[in-house]
Amino acid sequence: MRPNKRDELVRKALEVFYANGFHATGMDKLVAETGISKTSMYKHFRTKEDIILATLELRDENFRHWLYRRVEALADTPKGQLLAIYDALEEWFARPEFRGCMFIKASAEFQELDHPIHVQSAEHKRLLTEHFIIAAKAAGLSEPEDLTRQLMILKEGAIIMAVMGHSENPAMDAKAAAQALIDAHGG
């Protein structure tokens, strides 16, 4: 099925926001880089924040789908999948278009906890955590909620270190720490 104009706009806007940031990308830049007229843009979205929310929704769907499928392809046990998160991150970090986590960026640019963009970014992280809590429970690990929160902190830290270039292989550094945590929880 061919994407409609709105879907095309969201996909292109996602690329522009991911590469340039949200506040640094004005409507004129979006128009110039997406090739979609202002009239068409405002036909589909009343505000820039509406476009940002739509791009975050698309990014959430794409990223979670990719991560879950990749983790399942890399490991066939729940415990293995908890560690495979970091293998998948290593692959993501090596991509030439890697610019960090769009949700970390969004929550940094829209810091008010009740701002819709911040709320949507936090929801992405909550959904990831919830998914991997299920894996930790299936692996029979003790305190699966606590463990998963700790594993997610390692994941987020690895993303930031990859962006900042302060580690030669932040995904594997995080994986080593994740292994120690999993072992401590009965893995």
Domain coordinates of the chain in residue numbers? 49-184
Distance CA 28, CA 145 (A): 44
* Single pTM value for the model: 0.91
Which CATH number applies to 49-184: 3.20.20.150, 3.30.70.1450, 3.40.50.300, 1.10.357.10?
1.10.357.10
Q: Residue 115: pLDDT band by 50, 70, 90 thresholds?
A: very high
Mean pLDDT of 135-150: 97
Looking at per-residue pLDDT, the higher value among 36 and 97 belongs to 97
**Predicted pLDDT at 65:** 97
**Predicted pLDDT at 35:** 84
**Predicted pLDDT at 187:** 75
**Predicted pLDDT at 2:** 55
28: buried, middle or exposed (CB in 10 Å: 19+, 13-18, 0-12)? exposed
